[in-house]
Structure 1
C-alpha cells in the first residue's frame, strides 16, 4: 500500500500565550510570543504560490492575538479555507469567528465539558462545520461510550482523538491499540470517530485500520507548521526546523523533510504491507528518528510452515477462509517454541550454569532411540541396534554429568521414550534405573515407559513394575493394511496379545497412542476399530492426526475431508465413553497427565540421551554432536505462552496480559476475531476458552492464535 501526499494545509501558531495549562502542551514555559504581520502575510503568499488550500489558525489561545480578526478578513478576501482551533473554555467567543471560518475545531478534556456546553455546541454545529478533538489518555477507555452519545447529540461534522506525543510508555501504546478496537466497533452504529495522529499501526487490526489516519497528518506529509517567528516545522511538537518562511522556499522545505522522513523508518517497516499508509508513526519529532513506541513492537520470528501459509490466506480473504485442509496438509508435531530448527550451535559453557539450579520441580525425559523398524510417519532419528551397548554407556555418563541437578531438585515425573525403550532389555534397564533413582531424592509422581506393541519381554516388564507407574503403548491403528503400508512391524493380533500381557503383568495406568489419520484412505473401518481399541480400557488416549509427509500416502481433497471427519467421530466416541479432553491431543479417565504439563511449557524438563531436548529456566538446549541452544527472549516467552498454553484449552487473559505486559485481545485481535467467528473459541469473563467445535482443531487454533496483527502485515 503506497500513499502519495502533497502539501494541502499550513498551520499558523498565532501566539503561544494561553491560560489553560494543558499537560500535553508543547508551548508551555516559553516567553510570550505573537506572530508579526510580516510572517503572517509571507505565509499566506507562500500558501497561494504552492496551491495550499487550507490555513489553520492555532496557538496558544488565538484570541490572545490582537490582529486575529484582521488576519481572518485577510484570508477570507483571498478565498483560503480557514480552520480555527479553540478550547471549549473559550466557547462564548466562538460566535465572533463564524462569519470567517469554514471549520471550527473545539478541543476539550472530558465529557463533562461537553455536557455542560451542550446547547452552545449544538447551536454552533448548526451554523458551521464543527469539529471536535481530544488528546487521548487511558482514562478515555472507560468513558468512550458516553463520548459517542454526546458526539451524536451535538452533531459534530468530524471528531478525532489526538495522540499525546509526550507519552512513550508501553502501557500507553497498548491503550492506543485498545482504543482502535473500541472505536472500530462503536463506529459501526454511530457517527464516526477517528484517530488523527500517526503512531505505529503494527498491532492495529485490519478493521481497526479504518479508524486511523496513518501518517497523513504528521511528519510534514500534508501539513507544515509555521511558528510565531516564521520557523517551518513538520508539526507543532517537532523540534526540527526546516527553514524560515521569511527567507526559505516552502516547497523546498517540504521536499527536504519528506526525504529525511523516509530514512528514519526502522528496517522492519520495509517488510510491512502498510508501510506507505502507516509511515512508521511519528519520525519527525525532536529529530528524525524512529517513533519511541516502536520499541514495543514484536512479531513471530519463528513461524511454522502452516503459519506462513495461513497468514497469507487469511489476510487475502478478509479472515473468512476455511483453513482446516491447509492445516492437515501442512501441520507438524510441535512441543516447543521456537522449534529446534531455529536454535543455534553453542559450546557447553552456556549450558553449565543451568546445572546449578536447586529446589525446583523438574520433569526428566530419558531417550532411547532404538526401534523395531522405521515407520514412515515417524521422524525420530533411530540408531543401529549394534550401538545399543555404547549408547547405554553414553546415557549413564549423561546421568553422571547431571547428577547434581537431579539430586538437588524435585523430580516430579519421568518419561522413558524413543524409539522403543523396551529394546534396552532387562540388563541395561537395571543399569539405567538404578543409577537414575540413586540420584533422585524424592518419589516421582509418575514414571512413564513407552512401548512398541510387539515382542513382550516378561523379564523386563516384571523389573519395570518396581519403578514404572504408567505405560504408553503406540497402538496407532488396528488396520493391518495401514500398518503394513507404514512399515509398522506388528499387526492387530500381536498388538491385542501385547495389551493383554501388559494388563496381566499388573499395569493399570495405560495410555494408547492413536493416529486416526491412518484411516484417511479407508474411513469405513475406523469406527469399529476404534471402539475395539477402547474396549481394552486405556486410562488415557493420545489422539493425533497424520502429519503428512510425501512418503506416506496420496493426498487429495477426499483424503483431507476424511481426516476432518474421522477427527470428529473419534472425539465424540471418546467423550461418550467418559474421557475428558485435557489438551490438544490428550484424553483421560483420571485426568493425570504429568508429563504433558511439562512438555507444554508448565515446568522445567531435563532431557537425557542423544538429541533429547531440555527446557530449563527459559532456555532450550539439546545435544546433537555439539549443543543446540536457544535462550528465550521476552517476545519468545509471549509466543511460547500462547502457542503451548492454548493447547490446554483455555487461557486466563488477565494473568497472561500481566505476565507479558500486553493486551492479547487487541494485539492479536485479527486472529481472535477469526477464531470467534468460526466458533472455535469463546471469551467468557476473564477466560479465552476452546469451544466444543474448537476441540476438534486445537493445534490449528494454537497456530492461528500465535499470529499477532503485525504478523499478518509482514511479507
Structure 2
C-alpha cells in the first residue's frame, strides 16, 4: 500500500518557565534573568528554514506553542514567529493557532495583542481550583488568578479556550475533584483536558512522592465520577483525557492522534514527517538544552536525532495514538497513514476484539470499548510485533 501524505501541523517549543513544577517531565527550564527572546525567535526561524525541505509546498493546518510557558514571551515575539512561519509555509484558512498559557503570567492587555498576532486558541494550565492543591503541585498561581486570567482572555475575544485540570492530586478527595470541575464549568470553556497526576521518571515527585496521593481505587472513582459530570455539562469525551463542546475538539492534537505529520521547532521539539517520494516515515527531534540549541539552530548540530520508522514498527506507533481516540480509526486510514495492508494487523485486531477491548463495525471502523479504554496500554501492546 502507498503511504498517503497526511495533514501537516507546526509545533513550536518555548522552553522557559518561572519555576519548574515538581511533577513536570517536559523540556522546561527555569528562566534566570532576562530571557533571550529576540535570539530565540531568530533560532526558531533558522530551525524552520533547515527543516523546510521536509515539507516543501505543504499546507499547515494547525500551530501549537508549547513549553515551558509560552505566555512568558511578549506578544510581539509570538507575532514575529507567526509572521516568519507563514512567510515560509502556507497556512490553511482558519488555521487553529494554540498557545499554552500559565495563569500566573497573564497580564491585562496582552491577550488582545496575542489575538492580533494570530493566536485564536488558548490552553490554560489551571490544574486545580483548590489553593491547597495548587501549593502542593508547586504552581505559581492561585485559584483567583486562574479565574481572572480566563475571564481576561474571554474579554479579549477568545472564545476557544481549553482548561487543563488534573485529578488524583495529593490529599484530594472526590468532592474536591468535583468542585474543580464545577468551577471550570462556571467559566464556560470550549474544551477541558482532564487527566490523572502520574509520577513521571526524572521528576521531583518521582524522587520524593508527596503524601496523600489517592490509591488506584480512589483515582478510578474520581475518573468515573468526573467523566459523568463532564458529559452532563455538555463536554463529549473524544480522547482519553480530552473533552469538548460540539465542534471544539483540538485540531492540533487530533492530528497527532490520527498519525498526522508535524514539524517541530525549538529546543527539544519533536517532529514526524511522511516522505512520500521515499515512502518513508521520519521522526526528528532537536537538542534539548536552550543554550546549546541557540548556538546550533539552523545547522545539523541542532538535530538531536533522526529515526526512520520501519514498516514493522508502524502498527504499534499508529495504535499508540489512534487507540486513544473514542472514535478509533478506520482500516482505510490505517493503510493510508502507515503504507501497510490491513492484513498485517488482522491477528492482533481479532485478539483485541475477542478480549472485549475493541469493536469493529461493518464499515471497517475500529473503536475501543469502555473496557478497552481502561486497558489502552494492553491493547496497544498487542501490536508491538505486527
Name the TM-score, length of structure 2 as normaliser: 0.80
Deviations 1:523-548 (A, max 9, x none): 33221221111111111111111122
User: Which among 388, 399, 402 is matched to residue 36 of structure 2?
Assistant: 388
Inter-CA distance 395–652: structure 2 relative to 1 (3 Å threshold): closer
CA distance in 2, matches of 1:360, 1:694: 27
For residue 372 of structure 1, report the CA deviation from its aligned partner. 2.2
Structure 2: 5+ residue stretches without partners: 201-205, 275-280, 288-301
Which of 594, 616, 637 is residue 251 of structure 2 equivalent to?
Answer: 594
Measured at CA, do residues 455 and 707 of structure 1 come closer, stay the same or move farther in structure 2, by a change above 3 Å?
Answer: closer
- Residues 710, 547 of structure 1: CA spacing in aligned structure 2 closer, same or farther, 3 A cutoff? closer
TM-superposed CA distance for 1:401, in Å, is: 2.9
1:462 and 2:112 correspond? yes
Q: Which residue of 2 aligns with 1:170?
A: none
Cα shift at 1:448: 0.8
**C-alpha distance in 2, partners of 1:531/1:470?**
22
* Separation in 2, partners of 1:599, 1:360: 11
Aligned residues: 345
Displacement of 1:456 in angstroms is 1.9
SS of alignment partner, residue 582 of structure 1: strand
Query: Contact 2:12 / 2:63 at 8 angstroms: preserved in 1?
Result: yes
For the pair 1:634 / 2:311, whether they are aligned, the reply is: yes
1:483 and 2:134 are equivalent in the alignment: yes
Residue 366 (structure 2) aligns with = 688
Aligned to 2:203: none
Q: Structure 1 CA distance, aligned partners of 2:257 and 2:123? A: 18
The answer to whether the Cα contact below 8 Å between 2:72 and 2:105 also exists between their aligned partners in 1 is: no
Residue of structure 1 equivalent to 2:16 = 370
Greater Rg over alpha carbons, structure:
1
Q: Find the counterpart in structure 2 of residue 614 from structure 1.
A: 271
Q: 1:643-676 CA deviation, whole Å, 9 max, x = no partner? A: 21111222335764794353545345544433x1
* Contact 1:582–1:648, Cα closer than 8 Å, also in 2: yes
SS where residue 100 of structure 2 aligns? strand
In 2 relative to 1, CA 514–664 (structure 1 residues): closer, same or farther, beyond 3 Å?
A: same
SS in 2 for 1:465: helix
1:627/1:709 CA distance change after superposition, 3 Å? closer
Structure-2 residue corresponding to 1:579: 235
- 1:424 counterpart (73, 77, 82): 73
Residues in 1 aligned to 2:229 and 2:263: alpha-carbon distance in whole angstroms: 35
Deviation at 1:382? 2.1
8 Å Cα contact 1:540/1:587 also seen in 2: yes
Closer, same or farther: CA 647–517 of 1 in aligned 2, 3 Å: same
Equivalences for 1:100-499 in 2 at 5 Å?
A: 361-385=7-31, 386=33, 387-389=35-37, 390-402=39-51, 408-442=57-91, 443-466=93-116, 467-499=118-150
- Superposed CA deviations along residues 681-705 of structure 1, whole A, max 9, x for unmatched, are 434434432234555x3xx41x211
Residues 682, 690 of structure 1: 8 Å contact kept: yes
More strand by share: 2
Change beyond 3 A, Cα 1:371–1:520: same
Cα distance, 1:400 vs. partner?
A: 3.5
Equivalents in 2 of 1:541, 1:655: separation in Å? 27
* Distance in 2 of aligned mates of 1:464 and 1:546: 30
**Structure 1 residues 577 and 670, CA, compared in 2 at 3 Å: closer, same or farther?**
same
Q: Aligned-pair distance for 1:403?
A: 5.1
SS in 2 for 1:429: helix
Q: In the TM superposition, what whole-angstrom CA distance separates every residue of 1:585-637 from its partner, at most 9, and x where no partner exists?
A: 21111333210122224321001111100000111010115421211111111
Provide the residue aligned with 2:158 in structure 1.
507
Q: SS at the partner of 2:60?
A: strand
Residue 193 (structure 2) aligned to one of 539, 542, 560 = 542
| Residue in 2 that maps onto 1:708 | 382
Deviation at 1:496, TM superposition (A): 0.9
Pairwise CA distance, 1:484: 0.7
Give the gaps of 5 or more residues in structure 1.
1-358
Query: Do 1:446 and 1:594's aligned partners in 2 also have CA atoms closer than 8 Å?
Result: yes
List per-residue Cα deviations over 1:295-328 (Å, max 9, x = no partner): xxxxxxxxxxxxxxxxxxxxxxxxxxxxxxxxxx
Aligned CA-pair RMSD = 2.8
Given that residues 103 and 126 in structure 2 are in contact (C-alpha distance below 8 angstroms), is that contact kept between their aligned partners in structure 1? yes
TM-superposed CA distance for 1:576, in Å, is 0.7
Which structure has more relative contact order (CA 8 Å, sep 6+)? It is 2
- Confirm or deny: 8 A CA contact 2:315 2:384 kept in the other structure: no
TM-score (structure 1 length as normaliser): 0.45
User: Which deviations, in whole Å up to 9, do the C-alpha atoms of 1:436-494 show, x marking residues without a partner?
Assistant: 23323333521111101123233432221120111111111112111111111111011
Cα separation, 2, equivalents of 1:595 and 1:709 = 25
TM-aligned CA deviation for residue 397 of structure 1? 2.0
* Aligned match for 1:652, one of 327, 330, 333: 330
SS state of the match for residue 162, structure 2?
strand
DSSP 3-state at the match of 1:377: coil
Q: Note closer, same or farther for the CA distance 1:460–1:429 as it changes in structure 2 (3 Å cut).
A: farther
